[in-house]
C-alpha cells in the first residue's frame, strides 16, 4: 500500500511545470485560504438564506452540524498526530512543491477532514449544494496531492474522518433533540438566525 501511495503522489506531481497555467490555478486552489473561505461563506449564506421557516430550520441545523463536525474532525486529526507522525512527500521524495513546506504530520490531512465534514453536513440539508461541496472537497484533496503536500492515503483518511464525524454528529444531535431546537430558538430570539 505504501508503494502505491508513493507512486500516486509522484505520478501526479510529475505534471507540475508542464502546464504553467494549470500550476497557477492549483496554487490558488491549494492555498490555506481559497476553499476554507468559500466553504465558510457558503455556511454563512446557508444560515441566513432560506425564506420559509422549515427551510431555514433545515439549513441552520446543517450549519450547526458543520460547525461541530469540523471542530471534532480537527480534534481527531490532532489526536492522531500526537501519536503518529508521517513526513510530508516533499521531505522524502524529489517533489516540485507548489505549496509552502508545512511541518506537521502528513497523515491524516486535516484541511481535507474539515472540508469533507462541512460537505457531508451540508449534504444533509441541501443535496445539490452538498454535491457541489463534495466535488470541491475532492478537487481540494487532488490539488493538495498534485502540489506535493500530501500523499493520496493522507487525503483519503482525512475525507473518511470528515464524513464519519459529520454522520456521527448528525446522529448525536438527533438523540438529544430538544437541545438543538432550543439552541435555534435562542439564536432567533437574539436575532442571530
Residue 25 structural domain: 2-189
- Contact predicate 116/74, CB 8 Å: no
φ and ψ at 127, to 5 degrees?
-60, -50
Structural domains in the chain (count) = 1
Which residue, among 88, 144, 90, 92, has the nearest Cα to 116 in the 3D structure?
144
CATH number, domain of 10, equals 1.20.144.10
DSSP-based three-state secondary structure for 191: coil
Evaluate the omega torsion of the peptide bond into residue 166 and state whether it is cis, within 30 degrees of 0. no
What's the rounded mean pLDDT across residues 93-98?
86
**153-171 per-position pLDDT tens digit:** 999 999 999 999 999 999 9
pTM, whole model, 2 decimals? 0.94
Report the greatest alpha carbon distance in the chain.
57
Amino acid at each position: 500500500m505504501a508503494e502505491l501511495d508513493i507512486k500516486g503522489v509522484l505520478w501526479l506531481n510529475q505534471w507540475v511545470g508542464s502546464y504553467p497555467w494549470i500550476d497557477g490555478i492549483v496554487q490558488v486552489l491549494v492555498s490555506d485560504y481559497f476553499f476554507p473561505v468559500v466553504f465558510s461563506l457558503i455556511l454563512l449564506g446557508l444560515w441566513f438564506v432560506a425564506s420559509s421557516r422549515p427551510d431555514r430550520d433545515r439549513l441552520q441545523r446543517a450549519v450547526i452540524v458543520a460547525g461541530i463536525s469540523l471542530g471534532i474532525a480537527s480534534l481527531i486529526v490532532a489526536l492522531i498526530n500526537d501519536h503518529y507522525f508521517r513526513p510530508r512527500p516533499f521531505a522524502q521524495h524529489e517533489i516540485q512543491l507548489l505549496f509552502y513546506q508545512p511541518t506537521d504530520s502528513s497523515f491524516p490531512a486535516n484541511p481535507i477532514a474539515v472540508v469533507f465534514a462541512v460537505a457531508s453536513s451540508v449534504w444533509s440539508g441541501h443535496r445539490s449544494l452538498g454535491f457541489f461541496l463534495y466535488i470541491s472537497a475532492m478537487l481540494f484533496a487532488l490539488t493538495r496531492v498534485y502540489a506535493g503536500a500530501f500523499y493520496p492515503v493522507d487525503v483519503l483518511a482525512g475525507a473518511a474522518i470528515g464524513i464519519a464525524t459529520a454522520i456521527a454528529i448528525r446522529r448525536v444531535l438527533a438523540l438529544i433533540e430538544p437541545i438543538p431546537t432550543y439552541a435555534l430558538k435562542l439564536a432567533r430570539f437574539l436575532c442571530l438566525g
